[in-house]
Amino acid sequence: MESLFNPATVSRRELFEWTLRVLNTYRVRPRKKLSQNFIVEPRLIGEILENTAPVDTVEIGCGIGTLSLALLTRVPRLLCVEIDRRLCEVAADVVKSPRFTVVNADADKYTPGAEQVVSNIPYHVTSDLLVKVARANRVKRAVLTLQREVAERLTAKPGSRTYGKLTILVNTLFRVTQGGVYTPASFYPEPEVFHGVVVLERRREYGEEVCALEELTRSLFRERRKLAEKVLARRLGVRVENLGPLGRVIAGKRVFMLSSEALLELAKTLREMGVIACEQSPD
């Protein structure tokens, strides 16, 4: 029989007390090495649910099953990928649903097999998991809780301090919407940083052109503050004079000032010229 407890509809105090009770009952001590901070703010869970589509979903890192319980009021089936074997056992026992499956695996090595991914992403693997989700074309939507600094990177504009490779990859493939910001008190144990909700809606599939874009930005952003035309010439042997109208877009701009659209067009051009070869296939 499925649990009737819904973390999205109780008070913060009730959710906090429930969390402590579960941890004590199963003798679980949160592991800092695995970035284990459990959500105790119902408003955060509610915002995640509001942005979650009613489709089969993969949850990355279900912890003790807090978010899982709420998600099952919204999605038909939920598969959780959890690296901590002990928490797999706890979540399965707490949730008690035939629509809920837990896989003990490293999400960084696991390719999501559903249209939607939901996660309170562990800090230490945030960038790697975002890239993993971006390359998994089956994933059409992702609802994520990230460190506020990472959320801001995903919505950064060209020329800003936080604009970089991850910004360009994610914005090329997804429509990015930034949601609410939550204090450390929204989690137990309290982390040292604020968090933000981000919704990703796929608008382009990952393919050879985006793979070439990754290769290009990996090379250019090693010298992000240098003039792009000089970095292109030095690292790739390409002169802007040979790029036609695109060369005029690039000329005079530093690497971190180039838009994702301009970089994608440049990656396409360099791939056609044989300057960049794609070595990554979509997941």
Q: For tokens 């390719």, what's the residue?
A: 111
Asked if omega into 282 is within 30° of 0 (cis), the reply is no
Rounded Cα distance between 235 and 220, Å, is 8
Q: How far apart are CA 98 and CA 101, in angstroms?
A: 8
For the chain, how long is the longest CA-to-CA vector? Answer: 68
Closest CA to 117 of 62, 178, 46, 186: 62
Question: Cα–Cα distance between 41 and 55 in angstroms, integer?
Answer: 24
Rg, the chain, Cα only? 21
Q: What is the pLDDT of residue 141?
A: 98
Q: Tell me the CA end-to-end span of the chain in Å, nearest whole number.
A: 36
pTM, two decimal places: 0.94
Residues 6 or more apart from 11 whose CB is under 8 A from it?
Answer: 42
Smallest CA-to-CA distance from 271 within 216, 206, 204 is with 216
**Domains in the chain with CATH codes:** 12-202 (3.40.50.150), 208-272 (1.10.8)
Helix axes 165-173, 208-220, angle to 10 degrees: 160
pLDDT per residue rounded down to tens, the chain (283 residues): 466 799 999 999 999 999 999 999 999 998 888 788 999 999 999 999 999 999 999 999 999 999 999 999 999 999 999 999 999 999 999 999 999 999 999 887 877 789 999 999 877 788 999 999 999 999 999 999 999 999 999 999 999 999 999 999 999 999 999 999 999 999 999 999 999 999 999 999 999 999 999 999 999 999 999 999 999 999 999 999 999 999 999 999 999 999 999 999 999 999 999 999 887 666 6
- Give the span between the Cα atoms of 234 and 228, in whole angstroms: 10
Question: Collapsing DSSP states into helix, strand and coil, what is residue 104?
Answer: strand
pLDDT the model gives residue 280: 67
